[in-house]
Amino acid sequence: MIKTEEYFNRQIQLWGVETQESLQDKRIAIIGSGGLGCSLALALGTSGIGQIDMIDFDTVGLHNIHRQVAFRLVDEGRLKAEVVVEMIESKSPFIKANALCMDFEEFSKLEKSYDLILDATDNLPTREAIDKYAKANKTPWIYASVELFNGQVCFFENASFQIFNISDHKPGGITAPIVMHIASLQANLALRYLAGLSVLKDKLYYLYFNDDGELITQKFAMPS
């Protein structure tokens, strides 16, 4: 039998047994099981979060596989949420993971409660719907988006998502590493919050490579 103190040894060294055990009571929803969602599930599913619900109606396409870390060539055509749940469960004996194979509109009609919601979608209208849903349910959420070599992340608590121009913008080309980089920042904010550590809220992190190849990080306050 796998013991908690052995599996989570390095995290327990960081914040102790009590904090690690507290994560087992946390429930999160990841909206989207693509590039961001796969990486979030991998990072948080092996960190001790008690329950993770993956919400996604899409299936694995060949063009997904190079940048969406949960998927193999043999998974083409399968439901993304189900594959991601299998991955989480294969890596951690302590997780309860659920695949909710539906779109966000259908999900929002379910009576569920979470400690945190993570956006891993690819369009602004759905993110606007997540913001409204999260505020109606008094639940914080973390927004993230990626395009080209750029990305942005924001922990929304009181700020309004309406500052964004809500349109059905489709992202251009995306490199695989920037997806994982942005998901890593998003996962770190989530894990710190769920572990009871301080998190900067309602500020947008914008990360990009300039023309010299230097990684720049900027922060912008988000209005309520």
* Per-residue pLDDT at 168: 58
pLDDT value of residue 123? 84
pLDDT score recorded for residue 113: 93
Kindly list the structural domains of the chain, giving each domain's residue range(s) and its CATH number in brackets, ordered by start: 4-221 (3.40.50.720)
pTM (2 decimals)?
0.92
Tell me the two tokens of residue 66. Answer: 């190079």
CA-to-CA separations, 24 to 86, 157, 168, in angstroms, rounded: 19, 23, 37
**Mean pLDDT of each 10-residue bin along the chain, 224 residues long:** 87 91 95 92 93 95 86 91 94 93 93 94 89 94 90 91 63 78 94 95 91 89 81
